[in-house]
Amino acid sequence: QVQLVESGGGLVQTGGSLRLSCAASGRTFNRYAMGWFRQAPGKEREFVAAISRSDGSTTYGDSVKGRFTISRHDAKNTVYLQMNSLKPEDTAVYYCAADLSNTLSSRPGAYDYWGQGTQVTVSS
């Protein structure tokens, strides 16, 4: 079992930056690919980014490519999401998730564990 806790959300102006963190419990963090998703009110959960457990391969949703960067620090059991050039449409609750199968999937159903989410609000 993995417990995930996100932090780093908040209110930022358009064009600003935020770095989200997701801390995982347990000693098996390096067995999981990690992903970030987001969900805005009235919308479906949207894939943001994922990073593999082995070679650090990454993949991004089209709406964040070139602006967001996912990274991980296995010794700290933490995955990060650096968000730059933020836009009002990035406003959402951001969730991190762990995937034992290491598929780097964009489907929420492929992930085994989820955090509780952190709110990001971008003002115009």
Give 58-96 pLDDT, tens digit per residue: 999 999 999 999 999 999 999 999 999 999 999 999 999
**Residue 118: alpha-carbon gap to chain centroid:** 10
Q: Which helix (H) or strand (E) holds 54?
A: none
pLDDT in tens, 30-64: 999 999 999 999 999 999 999 999 889 999 999 99
For the beta sheet containing 18-24, the strands, ordered from the edge strand earlier in sequence to the opposite edge, are 4-7, 18-24, 78-83, 68-73
In whole angstroms, give the CA distance from residue 8 to residue 41: 20
CB 93 within 8 A of CB 119: yes
pLDDT band at 27 (very low <50, low <70, confident <90, very high): confident
